[in-house]
Amino acid sequence: MKEKIFARKVNEKSLETIKERIESLEHDVQRIIDQERVEREMRLAEMEVKKAQNMMEYREQIYSRPNREWHLSKNMKDDIREESKKEALGEDYVEKKLKKSAFGSQAKGGRFEGKPSADSGQRNFKSFRGKSRGGKR
């Protein structure tokens, strides 16, 4: 849809009055902007003072906490899971884990990791990990 363009004629005298009005308000606008800047700086200063007070008051509690670890590798996560399972389930878990590992990955229901036999028709899926569909063919 096309929009119509209108040509308007504005009186030069009314433009001058509007311009003067805008220039007169410019000082007020600048004063308001300065006030807002000062208020923001005061807010930030109050936050820093509050933070410093809390650091002084609760210093021992803050520094007694262990450091946070945000990035864990997959192996580290698996180790933590294993340790927590061992703690929760005790020796029964360790014995079950040893039995499962003795039967291999097929007992777990995982992928076939051994060499395929000629009559089985299965492929060694481990060699295809990380490859695209075209790379697997």
The pLDDT tens digits of the residues spanning 45-85 come to 999 999 999 999 999 998 888 877 667 788 888 888 888 88
Query: Could you tell me if residue 5 is inside a domain?
Result: no
Query: Could you tell me if residue 137 is inside a domain?
Result: no
Domains contained in the chain, number = 2
Query: Could you tell me if residue 69 is inside a domain?
Result: no
- Cα 70 from Cα 32, distance rounded (Å): 44
Residue 38 is predicted with a pLDDT of: 98
0.75 surpassed by pTM: no
125 and 78 together in one domain: yes
Structure tokens at 1: 């849809």
60 and 90 together in one domain: no
Ordered alpha helix ranges (H), the chain:
12-57, 59-64, 74-89, 91-103, 105-108, 133-136
From 50-64, 88-102, 106-120, the region with the lowest mean pLDDT: 106-120
Query: Could you tell me if residue 124 is inside a domain?
Result: yes
Query: Could you tell me if residue 1 is inside a domain?
Result: no
20 and 47 together in one domain: yes
> What is the share, in percent, of the chain residues with pLDDT greater than 70?
64
Reduced to 3 states, what is the DSSP secondary structure of residue 52?
A: helix
Of residues 75, 76, 94, the one with CA closest to residue 85:
94
Query: Could you tell me if residue 134 is inside a domain?
Result: no
- Cα 131 from Cα 124, distance rounded (Å): 13
Residue 85 CB burial class (10 angstroms; 0-12, 13-18, ≥19): middle
Structure-token match 């410019």, residue found: 26
pLDDT in tens, 8-38: 888 999 999 999 999 999 999 999 999 999 9
57 and 83 together in one domain: no
In which domain, by residue range, is 39 found?
A: 12-64
Reduced to 3 states, what is the DSSP secondary structure of residue 120?
A: coil
Query: Could you tell me if residue 47 is inside a domain?
Result: yes
Query: Could you tell me if residue 100 is inside a domain?
Result: yes
Higher-pLDDT residue of 130 and 107 is 130
